Amino acid sequence: MSILHLPHAHPSAIVLDWHATLVDTMDAMYHAVDDVIPKLSELGLIDRLVKPEHSKTIEDTKLVRYIREHGHLHPKIKAERKISRTDIFEVLFGTDREAKEIAHREFDKSYGKHFGAVKPMKPNARKNLQALRDMDIKLGVVSNRARTSMAHEIYTVDGSGWQDLFDTIVCGDDVEHRKPHPDLILKALKNLDEPAAPSCWYVGDSTTDVIAAKETRVTAVFYNGSGWDQVWIDKIFPGTVRHPHEPDVVVNNLAELLALAQRLVGAAAKNAWSDVKSR
């Protein structure tokens, strides 16, 4: 666990991303992205791809160039299984929100043809989520995906589903703008009756998730399930004027997230007891 900016308050609510944070749906995701990319021209998006000088990293520039020239993802990206659909669209279209919305809608159409079995990212995921609930922390889950596919996945994961673990579920087609816009997180917090404040944490595996958290003004927890090293994390979160958003905390799994929450809740309880005794 890496703490860059220690949260000032223990969490009253934790909202988590779904894909690649809690569950593995990589195969269906990449199949759907493979369906979308060859259609960029007919969707009017090929000329809206990010120009090289606007890419965040050299790797981003290479990805855009490869897709422009070949009309599909580089095989290495699918083999590594580390980058999400949302981050792919961020790399391709940058700040062009309309282009991203068009791509997301086309993805939803294709994903419905490919999704099926869904499994937890880690075998103890349910246990750790339940432990957070047992601490009286409200839990929410959000996804850029359409509600039809999200509902299927959350009700079938682990065989019996995880719908009982969450106090709210918000999907991409429930809001006007998807991540990195803060709409999804804001709607989840509204449903939880919680303010957008550091005492609410948002946990996600992508740079898009961190941007959404910082734009919402909640604690941004980057879930490093892909095992990126610190050099790469510094590269994708450079903290520059153009790309200022950085996570407050980096965790490698849900067990580390639980340990951090327990630490801060325990510290808050200790401080409260000290205040009582000093009166």
Q: At 272, which CATH number?
A: 3.40.50.1000
- Given 77, 94, 114, the domain boundary residue is 114
More confident residue, 7 or 192: 192
* Nearest in space to 267 (alpha carbons), one of 255, 257, 259: 259
Whether residue 171 is found in the same domain as residue 272:
yes
Whether residue 11 is found in the same domain as residue 66:
no
Whether residue 130 is found in the same domain as residue 89:
no
Whether residue 103 is found in the same domain as residue 171:
no
| CA quadruple 192, 196, 198, 199: dihedral, nearest 10 | -20
Query: Cα–Cα distance between 198 and 72 in angstroms, integer?
Result: 40
Joined together, the tokens standing for residue 11 give: 């969490």
- Given 83, 114, 145, the domain boundary residue is 114
pLDDT at 248 over 50: yes
Distances 232 to 66, 97, 145 between C-alpha atoms, Å: 21, 26, 27
Q: The domain containing residue 130 runs over which residues?
A: 2-24+117-278
Query: What pLDDT, on a 0 to 100 scale, did the predictor assign at position 272?
Result: 46
Joined together, the tokens standing for residue 106 give: 């086309």
166-192 average pLDDT score: 96
Helices (H) and strands (E) in the chain, counts: 11, 9
* Residue ranges in 94-134 assigned as alpha helix (H): 97-114, 125-134
pLDDT in tens, 68-121: 999 999 999 988 888 889 999 999 999 999 999 999 999 999 998 887 778 899
User: In total, how many domains does the chain have?
Assistant: 2
Query: Cα–Cα distance between 279 and 243 in angstroms, integer?
Result: 47
